[in-house]
């Protein structure tokens, strides 16, 4: 068994990438929470510390890595990762901050159309953000929040149940906001089908891609997604406090 495993590892074209990271002792299976440290990060951090030391405030405006325009340095890479045009993405803030900013623009409830559809096991900060947006607009989450749940005794969401819930609440649905990848189960949701179903009933469709970006292939522009947000410290290995991203 050990021999077979060693042979498979040796034949893996991605095997060498492991050596590009500094890994804690043990088997590191929590990159979905915090990605491991890239070995190259130390040199980059020391370079910026040296620039801070020698340039002070002028570091904001001096050189190819001027801090003021940091977001522009990341635009092309982020666009490639999420399948977007460069004009559709930005690196800024943190994930939940960006979700709030996006919902301020995209969640425009009316007395007739005020509901937001999320999954029942959404990441807690997403759930809290949605509830706070509903309350801020003068509505009650008890009436305006639609939760899609796994069937009894199951952990995964049935795609048909998501689409059925969108259709059921269609005339009252202002926003569908779901993950690209469910953080607890790893389930990849059918984003193209969800976008089509949401748009068919006149709802806006957005995604939290915290566990999708850098993990699965994304084509947000081609899929006609309205908005999305993500962090970079999981599968993009940016480190604690790493800047988040948004797509419109």
pLDDT tens-digit series, residues 112-144: 999 999 999 999 999 999 999 999 999 999 999
Tell me the C-alpha to C-alpha distance, in Å, between residue 107 and each of 85, 170, 174, 204.
23, 15, 7, 8
Q: What's the whole-number average pLDDT of the chain?
A: 97
Instruction: Please indicate, yes or no, if residue 135 is contained in any of the structural domains.
Output: yes
pLDDT digit string (tens) for 196-229? 999 999 999 999 999 999 999 999 999 999 999 9
For residue 244, the model assigns a pLDDT of: 98
Q: Number of folded domains in the chain? A: 1
Instruction: Please indicate, yes or no, if residue 235 is contained in any of the structural domains.
Output: yes
Residue range 100-111: average pLDDT? Answer: 98
Instruction: Determine the Cα–Cα distance for residues 164 and 155; give it in Å rounded to an integer.
Output: 18
Instruction: Please indicate, yes or no, if residue 230 is contained in any of the structural domains.
Output: yes
Length of the chain equals 248
For residue 15, the model assigns a pLDDT of: 85
- Most distant CA atoms of the chain, gap in Å: 65
Residue 124 lies in domain: 72-247
Using the predicted structure, report yes or no on whether residue 64 has a pLDDT greater than 80.
yes
β 245-247/227-230 pair status: antiparallel
CB 221 within 8 A of CB 201: no
Using the predicted structure, report yes or no on whether residue 2 has a pLDDT greater than 80.
yes
Instruction: Determine the Cα–Cα distance for residues 105 and 224; give it in Å rounded to an integer.
Output: 17
Instruction: Please indicate, yes or no, if residue 95 is contained in any of the structural domains.
Output: yes
Using the predicted structure, report yes or no on whether residue 1 has a pLDDT greater than 80.
no
Tokens representing 86? Answer: 């460069």
Comparing 71-75, 97-101, 161-165, the range with the smallest average pLDDT is: 71-75
Residue range 149-168: average pLDDT? Answer: 98
33 pLDDT tier (thresholds 50, 70, 90): very high
Helices (H) and strands (E) in the chain, counts: 9, 9
Tell me the C-alpha to C-alpha distance, in Å, between residue 78 and each of 87, 98, 218.
11, 15, 11
Q: What's the predicted TM-score (pTM) here?
A: 0.94
For residue 104, the model assigns a pLDDT of: 98
Comparing 13-17, 104-108, 174-178, 186-190, the range with the smallest average pLDDT is: 13-17
What is the CATH number for 219?
3.40.640.10
Instruction: Please indicate, yes or no, if residue 17 is contained in any of the structural domains.
Output: no
For residue 122, the model assigns a pLDDT of: 97
Angle at CA 10, nearest 5°, toward 5 and 11?
A: 100
Helix then strand then coil, % of the chain, to nearest 5: 45, 15, 40
Instruction: Please indicate, yes or no, if residue 134 is contained in any of the structural domains.
Output: yes
Higher-confidence residue of 91 and 10: namely: 91
Residue range 34-46: average pLDDT? Answer: 96
């Amino acid at each position: 068994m050990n021999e077979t495993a060693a042979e498979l590892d040796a034949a893996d074209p991605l095997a060498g990438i492991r050596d590009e990271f500094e890994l804690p002792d043990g088997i590191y299976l929590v990159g979905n929470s915090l990605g491991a440290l890239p070995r190259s990060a130390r040199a980059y951090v020391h370079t910026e510390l040296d620039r801070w030391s020698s340039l002070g405030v002028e570091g904001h405006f001096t050189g190819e890595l001027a801090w003021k325009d940091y977001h522009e340095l990341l635009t092309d890479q982020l666009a490639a990762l999420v399948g977007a045009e460069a004009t559709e993405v930005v690196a800024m803030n943190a994930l939940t901050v960006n979700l709030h900013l996006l919902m301020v623009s995209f969640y425009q409830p009316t007395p007739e159309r005020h509901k937001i559809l999320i999954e029942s096991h959404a990441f807690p900060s997403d759930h809290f953000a949605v509830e706070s947006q509903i309350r801020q607009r003068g509505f009650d989450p008890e009436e305006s929040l639609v939760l899609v749940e796994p069937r009894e005794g199951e952990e995964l969401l049935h795609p048909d149940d998501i689409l059925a819930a969108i259709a059921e609440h269609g005339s009252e649905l202002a926003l569908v906001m779901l993950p690209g990848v469910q953080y607890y189960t790893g389930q990849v949701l059918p984003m193209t089908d969800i976008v089509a179903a949401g748009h068919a009933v006149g709802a806006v469709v957005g995604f939290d891609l915290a566990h999708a970006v850098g993990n699965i292939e994304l084509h947000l522009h081609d899929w006609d997604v309205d908005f999305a947000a993500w962090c970079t410290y999981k599968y993009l290995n940016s480190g604690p406090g790493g800047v988040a991203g948004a797509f419109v």
